[in-house]
Amino acid sequence: MLGLLQLLLIGLVALFASNAVGSLEFPSGAIATMGVVLVWFVLGFFFYAGLFAVAGSIVTRQEDLQTTMTPLTILIIASSSSL
């Protein structure tokens, strides 16, 4: 929830600041684009949360948790560094 609030706050502050200064002209679809970004953020969060929940449920001991989480962590790092 905090990440969603942070993303929404950054988008709103940028929108209001650029409108107040008048330095940027936003196209008419800027608000729709912000909505799409928020939807993808929520879908991505639930995707990774589901993967981590599955990985956590298949281990029998807490010591084995690192072995299951390593591929997911590599997936997150690889997907964020490709941007």
pLDDT, residue 50, reads: 93
pLDDT in tens, 34-78: 789 889 888 988 998 999 899 889 888 888 888 888 888 898 888
Q: Which helix (H) or strand (E) holds 65?
A: helix 65-81
Residue 70 CA to residue 73 CA, distance in Å, equals 5
26 pLDDT exceeds 90?
no
Residue with tokens 């409108």: 19
Domain that holds residue 52: 2-81
Residue 66 CA to residue 63 CA, distance in Å, equals 7
Confidence band of 30 (pLDDT split at 50, 70, 90): confident
Rounded to two decimals, the pTM is 0.64
Q: How many domains does the chain have?
A: 1
